[in-house]
Amino acid sequence: MGHDTLPWHLPPGWPLILGALVLAGCPRRLRAWLLPIPALLALMHLDQFNSGTFGQVSLLGKTLVTARLDALSAPFAWLFGFAALAGSIYLRSSPRRLE
């Protein structure tokens, strides 16, 4: 699969959002083991981005940008992705459900 077959113009947070929707319907024990997968997919998706703007859409005469990666947003995106991964791994070891 390459850039021409996958929606690389989607923001890197979309795997987290879609993963949350899918995992919400899974049983609790299975969900605990599958929880790191959306974070890993988000990091893999972020790795495919180059600097620049992606997914420009024209709406009512204005140009909307669905994803932009520059020198400032890239470190924040990587930190957020690793924080999501660390949180999902920690959650599996936590005995409390509401934590």
Distance CA 89, CA 83 (A): 10
* pLDDT at position 11 over 80: no
pLDDT value at residue 96: 67
pLDDT value at residue 8: 54
Distance CA 73, CA 79 (A): 10
What is the average pLDDT across 70-94? 86
Distance CA 69, CA 56 (A): 13
Least confident of 36-40, 66-70, 91-95: 91-95
Domain boundaries, the chain: 14-93
Query: What are the E-state strand segments in 17-95?
Result: 52-59, 62-69
Query: Six-digit token pair at 87?
Result: 């949180």
pLDDT band at 92 (very low <50, low <70, confident <90, very high): confident
Distance CA 43, CA 49 (A): 10
**CA-wise closest residue to 42 among 5, 72, 67, 63:** 67
